[in-house]
Amino acid sequence: MHIHILGICGTFMGGIAAIARESGHKVTGCDESVYPPMSTQLESQGIELIEGYSPEQIKLRPDIFVIGNVITRGNPLMEEILNRNHPYISGPQWLSENILRNKWVLAVAGTHGKTTTSSMLAWILEYAGLTPGFLIGGIPENFAVSARIGTITLPTTGDKKSGTNTHEFSPFFVIEADEYDTAFFDKRSKFVHYRPKTVILNNLEFDHADIFPDLAAIERQFHHLIRIVPNNGLIVTNDKEESLTRVLAKGCWTPTEKFGTVHGWHAKIEPNQNIEIFYMEKLEGTLQWDLLGEHNRMNALAALSAARHAGVPVKTGIDALMQFKNVKRRMEIRGIVNDITVYDDFAHHPTSIQMTLNGLRSKIGHTANIIAVLEPRSNTMKMGIWKNNLAGSLTEADRIYCYIKDSDWDVNAALSQLGDKVSCEGDLLQLIQSITRTARPGDYILIMSNGSFGGIHEKLLNDLSR
């Protein structure tokens, strides 16, 4: 099958492209922004990329066009597809019908922590020898790729001298289950297409204000997900989230395991910072690792529960987590210059900003300074939905810099309660120079954005080195 993907350079659609190519399909694609690293990754897999959405691409005559949710009516190639009545399908539906059918799908949903928890779960299954496929919205450092189909190499059969191996696909597939809408022609959340057998509900807060009017609307989508989990499956849910309690109260036909409670999975931190893992009253094992924060302990509990449902003993899961290397852009150290440590993190919601800062503070103590650098870039943040929550999420930082380009609301006013420890800049170069003038040896600079932030990380490191 030849598939042509519109919007191929997004993380999700790029993952679909890689999996489709690995499955033996011919894959081509187009996007407005065809540039590294995604373009390099896709081209290295033999995927032809086209810049832009010219209607002439209809002449490629693929068997089907796969449409990313970045595509809207008015897109010239999409209009040509519609005019000619050519077959098209959304990315999630194509994935469901062509890859996930007959798989044991383990889906990780929630406002925060999807990428990290999916990466933990995929690594636990990998460590246990199950070779899972996965599609994750980031790059787990244990794998160095964001997506794969999961190919098992079977022992050589027949004439050993021939060296012929056979291959089959793993029955397990881990997917980051996003509640964002599927496509311009399918406004259901992506995750309803995946038909998972194991589901993690990490947490649930209001987000994506560009498509959801309120929290109740998101809860409704989560309940649609609950309705399709079979009764021989498992729902792993965060017991601390009232929103998830409301979702399950609407109806649940599947066994559940809770985490974050003594009535389910919970953790205790020992004086030596080791983490004891319990299920109910039973001590399952002790975890030693370097990941920061309560949120990562909760992610680990959820991953252990889901992996156990897939047949992985808890002890094996704990051993795997002790070798887990985290995900790129999740508290990733980008460099240390003159004893100044620069972190990169994907945090873009007040809750995740606060959790990230709290985790860093718990590691470094109260004698070192944290310089928080924030780009309020997400659609919800740009709309000003979180303007009354933003200041409170940043209180743990000693100095705060905010990049205010393209903001539709008064960021200065929203952060004014934090006093003179806040600076807002609309020019990236000036922002970097201000941070450099402020930073001192022993400081920790935490850069938070869900985008590239204009390449600030390398530019700042270069400036600090001078």
Residue 451 amino acid letter: G
Q: Per-residue DSSP letters for 353-420? A: HHHHHHHHHHHH-SSS-EEEEE---SHHHHTTTTTTTHHHHTTT-SEEEEE-TT-SS-HHHHHGGGGG
Q: How far apart are CA 429 and CA 410, in angstroms?
A: 21
Co-location of 306 and 437 in the same domain: no
Q: How far apart are CA 417 and CA 402, in angstroms?
A: 14
Question: Lowest mean pLDDT: which of 204-208, 220-224, 299-303?
Answer: 204-208
327 found inside a domain:
no
Q: What DSSP character marks residue 311?
A: T
User: Residue 87 is part of which domain span?
Assistant: 2-94
24 found inside a domain:
yes
pLDDT band at 43; cut points 50, 70, 90: confident
Query: CA neighbours within 13 Å on the CB side: how many for 445?
Result: 29
CATH code for position 401: 3.90.190.20
* Domain final position from 94, 117, 135: 94
Co-location of 159 and 261 in the same domain: yes
Q: How far apart are CA 353 and CA 111, in angstroms?
A: 13
Closest residue by Cα to residue 3 from 19, 11, 12, 440: 19
Q: What is the pLDDT of residue 160?
A: 52
Number of domains observed in the structure of the chain: 3
CATH code for position 83: 3.40.50.720
pLDDT band at 159; cut points 50, 70, 90: low
* Domain final position from 261, 291, 321: 321
Are the C-beta atoms of 192 and 228 separated by less than 8 Å?
Answer: yes
Co-location of 301 and 188 in the same domain: yes
Look up residue 320 and give its two tokens. 């795997």
Q: Is 64 left (phi over 0), alpha (psi -120 to 50) or beta?
A: beta
Are the C-beta atoms of 357 and 396 separated by less than 8 Å?
Answer: yes
202 found inside a domain:
yes
pLDDT band at 164; cut points 50, 70, 90: low
Helices 215-226, 242-249: crossing angle, 10 deg rounding: 50
Co-location of 235 and 126 in the same domain: yes
pLDDT band at 243; cut points 50, 70, 90: very high
H or E element in which residue 125 lies:
helix 114-127
* Domain final position from 302, 321, 340: 321
What tens digit of pLDDT does each residue of 389-429 get? 788 889 889 999 988 876 667 787 878 888 888 888 888 99
441 found inside a domain:
yes
Query: CA neighbours within 13 Å on the CB side: how many for 277?
Result: 24
Q: How far apart are CA 324 and CA 289, in angstroms?
A: 8
> Between residues 381 and 168, which one has the greater pLDDT?
168
